[in-house]
Structure 1
Amino acid sequence: MTQSTLSPEPFAILAMPRTGTHYLEECLNEHPNVLSNGELLNTYDTNWPDQERLLLSDRELLERAFMRYPLRSDKKVMHVGCKINEPQFQERPGFFAELAAWPGLKIILVIRRNTLESLRSFVQARQTRQWLKFDSDNAAPPPPVTLSFATCEAYFKAADDFHARVVNAVDSSKIHLIEYERLLRDPHACMATILDFLGAPAMQLSDRGILRRQEMRPLDQTVRNFHELRVHFAHGPYASYFELGKELAPFV
Structure 2
Amino acid sequence: MTSYRDNMYVITCPARTGSTMLVHLLRSHPDICSHDEVFSSPGTIGGMTGTYLIKCRAEPGFASYLSAEKDRDPIKFLYKIVLDLQGKKAVCFKLKHDELVLPEYKALREEIVNDRDFRIIHLRRENLLRRYLSHYMANRVTGVTLAVRGQTVPEMQPVVLDPHECEKDFQTVLAREKEFEQLFVQHPTFSISYEEMIAPGAEQIQSLLDFIGVPRRELTTTTQKLGRADLRQVIANFEEVRDYFADGPFSKFFENA
Give the TM-score normalised by structure 2: 0.79
Deviation at 1:178, TM superposition (A): 0.5
Q: How does 1:188-207 map to 2 (within 5 A)?
A: 188-200=202-214, 202-205=215-218, 207=220
2: distance between equivalents of 1:225 and 1:143? 13
- Relative to the length of structure 1, the TM-score reads 0.80
The answer (yes or no) to whether the contact 2:196–2:202 under 8 Å persists in 1 is no
The 4+ residue runs of structure 1 with deviation greater than 3 A are: 5-8, 48-56, 95-98
| Mean CA deviation greater in 31-40 or 182-191 | 182-191
Task: Count how many residue pairs are aligned between Structure 1 and Structure 2.
Answer: 234
Q: Does 1:158 align with 2:198?
A: no
SS at match of 1:19: coil
- Partner of 2:155, secondary structure, is coil
**Which of 10, 13, 24 is the equivalent residue of 1:12?**
10
- Cα distance in 2 between the residues matched to 1:217 and 1:111: 18
Deviation at 1:53, TM superposition (A): 5.3
1:106 to 119, 127, 139: 119
Distance 1:160 1:6 in 2: 32
Which residue of the other structure, out of 241, 250, 254, is the alignment partner of 1:229?
241
CA distance in 1 between counterparts of 2:79 and 2:218 reads 25
Q: 1:139 to 1:61 in 2, by over 3 A?
A: same
Q: Which residue of 2 aligns with 1:67?
A: 80
Q: Tell me if the contact between 1:19 and 1:112 (Cα under 8 Å) persists in the aligned partners.
A: yes
**In the alignment, which residue of structure 1 is the partner of 2:182?**
168
Where does structure 2 lack aligned partners over 5 or more consecutive residues?
49-62
Task: Summarize the Cα distance change of 1:109–1:136 in structure 2 as closer, same or farther, 3 Å threshold.
Answer: same
Q: Hey, what does 1:77 align to over in structure 2?
A: 88
Report the identity percentage: 20
| Residue in structure 1 matched with residue 28 of structure 2 by the alignment | 30
Which residue of structure 2 aligns with residue 125 of structure 1? 138
Amino acid at match of 1:83: K
Return closer, same or farther for 1:106/1:239 CA change in 2, 3 Å cut-off: same
Of 38, 55, 58, 2:71 maps to 55
State the alpha-carbon separation in 1 of the partners of residues 154 and 9 from structure 2.
36
Residues 1:85 and 1:148: Cα distance change in structure 2 (over 3 Å): same
Whether 1:177 aligns to 2:207 is no
Cα deviations by residue, 1:6-30 (Å, 9 ceiling, x for unpaired): 9772111111111111111111112
Deviation of 1:188 after TM superposition, in Å, equals 4.9
